[in-house]
Structure formats: structure tokens, C-alpha cells
């Protein structure tokens, strides 16, 4: 069993539930040794309702998790992080924000923080998929992200693993290898079940076709629950399903992304 989870959200993002303390209690019950909170990072100049916390909630987030870190220090190690997109135009804001936290995850959900333009949780054009790949790789090269969340999220609603999807997978694998940035096998996609692609039946993510390409590169791989409710941390069977789906691929799973 993996003894850590660094991908945990809170109700502040607008699409997760449960109290901060309930996540900690669930993690202890599940047997985790380390719990990292990484709610969706806010933006000073943009607010996308129901997708990330407000800038005004940031201090409360830090204070709440810090309090729980002290309260449960004898039972579990707690880290405070954020999950953020990368956008070239506010690179410096993100870089400065990252300095305030134990870690900073790269999770590219939208083409713009306001939600205008492409959402990578729907079917995307080949041009949008390529733009996703280019932006993610630029973010990886920025050098302040701990690991890349759900890199295969672009497969959420695609009908097939197109040549563009294949190219983007190679781009991400190569860039993660060059920057020594781990990639996350994201467990949340397991909840949605398998879907029929032109190539066969697979999970949208973790998508076997994507990870088969990633296995060609010397990259480190971690696991992220992507918890949006305390009970998500108790669904260890979903980790087993993901590992079964990818078991014959030569992926280099690590014991902790900080090691």
C-alpha cells in the first residue's frame, strides 16, 4: 500500500466536500503516514466559480491545515500545498506563491484561469490537445512544481488516442525525464469506470495508452488519490484497480515524491 497522499482538496474549491479535519481523520483510518493538502490555488485577478478557492480564502486555508498539523502530529504527518495550472502570463505570481508552501503541484485544467477557452475535462480538438501539451511542458521547465497531476486528463472525453495525443504523451515523458519531475497516476478517474475508445476499453485516466508511452522514459511515477471527499481516502481498492491496469508496464513507482 502507498503510505502517502499529496493530492487532497477542501471545500474551498467549490466542488469538494467535508471538513479539513474529516480528511485527516479518514487518512489516519486508512493507514496513511503522510497527508498532503493541495487544494486548487487561487488567482489574484481571476475567480472561476466552483473551480478554485478565492484569494481571500488562502490565509484561512493555511491556518486551518497548520492547526491540524499540530493537533495530529503524533498520528500523521501533514503537509500544506496547492495544485495550480501554469500560465506564462502570470508565471511570477505562481512562482512567488509556491514559496509559501511545502509543495506545489502542476494540474492543468483550463486554457485560462477564468475558465474562458478550452477545458481539458471535455472533448478537445487536436489543436487544444497540442496546446495542453506545450503549456504543461513549459510549466515543467519552470522548475517549481513538485510533480505533474493527472497528465492524461486530456483523454477524459476523447474518442480515440490520436496521433496528437501520442505526440503530447511523448512530449510530457521527455520533459519530465529532462526535468526529473514525477508524474502522477491519478486515481480519481477510476471512479468514472472504463470507456470505449477506438483502440478498446480503457479508463480515461489513468489511461493505459498514455502510460504505455510514458513507460518508454526514465521518469518517476507517484500515486494521487485526488480526494474531493474524506471517504475518497478510504477507497484503497481504486489504487489496486489502477495498479492492475498498469501492472505490466515498466513504470518506476516511487515511495515518496519528495525522495
* pLDDT of amino acid 91: 87
- 219 with 183: CB under 8 angstroms? yes
Under DSSP, is residue 178 helix (H, G, I), strand (E, B) or coil? helix
* pLDDT of amino acid 107: 97
**Vertex 48, ends 47 and 52: CA angle to 5°?**
85
The architecture that CATH gives domain 4-253 is Alpha-Beta Barrel (3.20)
- 222 with 186: CB under 8 angstroms? no
Spatial distance between the Cα atoms of 63 and 58, rounded to a whole number of angstroms: 9
* pLDDT of amino acid 259: 66
What does the domain layout of the chain look like in residue ranges? 4-253
Name residues whose C-beta falls within 8 Å of residue 159's C-beta, 6 or more positions apart in sequence: 123, 197, 198
pTM: 0.95
pLDDT per residue as tens digits for the range 230-246: 999 999 899 999 999 99
Regions in the chain scoring below 50 on pLDDT: none
* pLDDT of amino acid 1: 59
Amino acid at each position: 500500500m502507498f503510505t502517502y497522499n499529496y493530492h487532497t482538496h477542501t471545500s474551498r474549491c467549490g466542488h469538494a466536500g467535508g471538513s479539513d479535519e474529516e480528511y485527516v481523520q479518514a487518512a489516519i483510518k486508512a493507514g496513511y503516514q503522510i497527508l498532503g493538502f493541495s487544494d486548487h490555488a487561487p488567482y489574484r485577478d481571476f475567480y472561476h466559480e466552483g473551480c478554485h478557492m478565492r484569494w481571500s480564502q488562502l490565509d484561512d486555508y493555511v491556518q486551518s491545515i497548520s492547526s491540524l498539523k499540530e493537533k495530529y502530529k503524533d498520528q500523521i504527518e501533514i503537509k500544506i500545498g496547492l495544485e495550480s495550472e501554469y500560465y506564462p502570463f502570470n508565471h511570477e505570481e505562481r512562482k512567488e506563491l509556491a514559496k509559501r508552501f511545502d509543495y506545489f503541484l502542476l494540474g492543468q485544467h483550463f486554457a485560462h484561469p477564468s475558465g474562458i477557452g478550452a477545458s481539458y475535462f471535455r472533448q478537445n480538438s487536436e489543436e487544444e490537445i497540442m496546446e495542453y501539451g506545450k503549456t504543461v511542458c513549459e510549466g515543467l521547465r519552470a522548475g517549481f512544481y513538485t510533480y505533474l497531476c493527472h497528465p492524461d486528463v486530456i483523454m477524459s472525453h476523447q474518442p480515440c488516442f490520436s496521433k496528437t495525443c501520442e505526440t503530447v504523451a511523448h512530449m510530457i515523458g521527455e520533459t519530465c525525464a529532462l526535468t526529473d519531475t514525477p508524474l502522477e497516476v491519478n486515481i480519481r478517474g477510476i471512479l468514472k469506470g472504463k470507456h470505449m475508445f477506438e483502440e478498446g476499453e480503457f479508463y480515461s485516466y489513468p489511461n493505459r495508452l498514455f502510460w504505455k508511452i510514458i513507460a518508454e522514459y526514465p521518469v518517476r511515477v507517484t500515486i494521487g488519490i485526488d480526494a474531493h471527499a474524506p471517504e475518497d481516502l478510504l477507497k484503497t481498492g481504486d489504487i489496486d484497480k489502477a495498479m492492475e491496469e498498469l501492472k505490466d508496464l515498466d513504470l518506476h513507482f516511487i515511495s515518496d515524491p519528495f525522495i
